[in-house]
């Protein structure tokens, strides 16, 4: 199959055909299914995607530890997957999830707790 | 400054200190400021971040063309930035934006127009 045909199939087709990058990863954006707040961004390889689909809980590939990582495996703050959506070229996922607790390792509800104001950051009031 | 101190400063500080990857990029997630729908995911280098901040319109780094890319420069479907948020380790941005038209190059309102159902994809009804 030519690259062009593959690209078209990816965009218009009804087959999951993730376009993993040279690093073997696609981007995962976790969104709270209830509030639609974006909770975190992490990366999935084929193993993490399979584990997420098989267990119903979000798994990622830890780039720093080079291994499969179930979100919340130590903290208990798991993410129950309600729905997953994939983008046009199939290199990014939106994971609509029910969080069991704060999604950020800092204890914040979301990793995006600061807004950018020029060269400074300010807390987001939510 | 040690790496550890830098990491702490990134997480807790009030200074914008983007952690560009080995490829010079951070992840950008565009969210409709009104509906909170996730419209697209793309990548920013330092040049794209500066252009976004200076113009108030979302710019990215095109990995395929290796150049700065103003979203909508040809289609007219620009993204007016209302607020930007950065995550704990400052390697991902949420761009809350007002879209001028469909965000996806396919003509869809969002790039995430399909949900994953096992090995298949199905249209998202919105």
Nearby residues of A105 by Cβ (< 8 Å), 6 or more positions away: A75, B88
In a domain, B58, yes or no: yes
Measured between beta carbons, which residues in chain A are less than 8 angstroms from residue B85? Answer: 112-116, 124
Q: Is residue B11 part of a domain?
A: no
CATH of the domain at B36: 3.10.20.810
pLDDT-based confidence at residue B117 (cuts at 50, 70, 90): very high
The predicted model gives B105-121 an average pLDDT of 97
Residue B6 lies in a domain: no
Assigned domain for B72 exists? yes
The percent of residues in chain A predicted with pLDDT above 90, rounded, is 89
Give residue-wise pLDDT tens across range B4-34: 778 889 999 999 999 999 999 999 999 999 9
Within a domain: residue B10? no
The distance of A88 to chain B (nearest Cα, Å) reads 5
- Kindly indicate the confidence band of residue A89, based on its pLDDT and cuts at 50, 70 and 90: very high
The residue in chain B having the minimum alpha-carbon distance to the alpha carbon of residue A30 is B38
SS3 string of A9-58? HHHHCCECCCCCCCCCCEEEEEEECCCCCEEEEEEECHHHHHHHHHHCEC
In angstroms, the CA A20 to CA A26 distance is 5
CB pairs under 8 A between A and B: 112
- B49 domain residue, yes or no: yes
In a domain, B17, yes or no: no
pLDDT at A4: 75
Contact partners, residue A7, CB within 8 Å, separation at least 6: A89
Q: Distance between CA atoms of B126 and B124, rounded to whole angstroms?
A: 6
Domain that holds residue B47: 24-123
Give the pLDDT confidence score for residue B2 in this predicted structure: 64
CA neighbor of A7 nearest in space, from A93, A87, A94, A95: A87
Does any domain span residue B54? yes
Chain A nearest-CA residue for B15: A120
Q: Which residues of B touch A87 (CB under 8 A)?
A: 40-41, 104, 111-112
> Would you call B7 exposed, middle or buried from its count of C-beta atoms within 10 A (0-12, 13-18, 19+)?
middle
For chain B, the domain total comes to 1
Burial of A100 (C-beta count, 10 Å sphere; 0-12/13-18/19+): middle
Tell me the per-residue pLDDT of B56-94, one tens digit each, with 9 for 90 and over: 999 999 988 999 999 999 999 999 999 999 999 999 999
């Amino acid at each position: 199959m030519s690259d062009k045909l593959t690209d078209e199939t990816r965009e218009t087709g009804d087959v999951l055909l993730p376009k993993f990058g040279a690093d073997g990863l696609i981007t995962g954006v976790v969104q709270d299914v209830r509030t639609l707040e974006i909770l975190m961004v992490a990366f999935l390889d084929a193993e993490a995607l399979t584990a997420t689909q098989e267990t119903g809980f979000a798994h990622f590939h830890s780039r720093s530890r080079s291994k499969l990582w179930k979100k919340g495996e130590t903290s208990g703050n798991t993410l129950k997957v309600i729905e997953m959506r994939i983008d046009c070229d199939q290199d990014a996922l939106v994971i609509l999830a029910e969080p069991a607790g704060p999604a950020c390792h800092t204890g914040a509800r979301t990793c995006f707790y600061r807004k950018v104001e020029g060269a400074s950051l300010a807390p987001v009031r939510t």
